[in-house]
Structure 1
Amino acid sequence: MGRAAQNQGFTCDNCGAVVVPLSNGSYRNHCPTCLWSKHVDLEPGDRAAACRGLMRPQRIEHRGRKGPVIVHRCVACGFVRPNRVADDPGQGDDIDAIIALMLGGG
């Protein structure tokens, strides 16, 4: 499967926001509005996970060259995955949601 086929928009199963794919070559893997994700990948972009459970944003961490990441945990199976914060102008993650998560209110 090519990158364009993997990088698709979606409707957030948590808040209902319509999410457009990123245009910078990265994969959109969580909702920029509520920061929730969905357990669809075994490896980033493969869409091979059978679980399909919602993934709660737990915290923000700084990971070297990746910079800030949102650590998600699947509410169905417990799988944990860090996802880069999207900071592209006009397509980035909601700063208020990121701040709330950083302050423990995610």
Structure 2
Amino acid sequence: MSKKAENNGFMCEHCGAVILPLTNGSYRNHCPECLYSKHMDEDPGDRQSTCKGLMKPIDLIIHSKKGYQIIHQCLQCGAIRRNKIAQDTVQSDNVYLLMN
């Protein structure tokens, strides 16, 4: 499946926010309001996870090449994943939730 096909809007399963597709050439994998994600991948972008649990945002880091990344932990299986933040686009990520 192409990234264009994956760049769809969705409703957040954690907070119920209606999420619009990104406008910066990427695709979104977490809610910009509450920052929760869904465990969809085993490897980045493969959509092969059978877990499908909600992933809680637990930290914010700065990667030297990728910039800010949200660290998510799956509430079902405990897996930990990193996701780049979405900025300068429709519905930029509310990273202030993790900055306190």
Distance 1:89 1:6, change over 3 A: closer
Provide the residue aligned with 1:29 in structure 2: 29
What TM-score do the two structures reach when normalised by structure 2? 0.92
Provide the residue aligned with 2:9 in structure 1: 9
Deviates more, 1:47-56 or 1:18-27: 18-27
Structure 2 spans left out of the alignment, 5+ residues: none
Structure 1 spans left out of the alignment, 5+ residues: none
Deviation at 1:90, TM superposition (A): 3.1
Is the helix fraction higher in 1 or 2? 1
CA deviation profile, 1:62-100 (whole Å, cap 9, x unmatched) = 011111110000000011111111112433112xxx223
**Rounded Cα–Cα distance in structure 2 between residues aligned with 1:44 and 1:27:** 12
What TM-score do the two structures reach when normalised by structure 1? 0.87
- Give the letter for the 1:99 counterpart: Y
**Rounded Cα–Cα distance in structure 1 between residues aligned with 2:22 and 2:97:** 23
Find out whether 1:102 has 2:99 as its counterpart.
yes
Distance 1:100 1:54, change over 3 A: same
Find out whether 1:49 has 2:46 as its counterpart.
no
- Give the letter for the 2:21 counterpart: P
The two structures, once aligned, show a CA RMSD in angstroms of 1.2
Runs of 4+ in 1 over 6 A off after TM superposition: none
Find out whether 1:40 has 2:37 as its counterpart.
no
Count residues in correspondence. 100
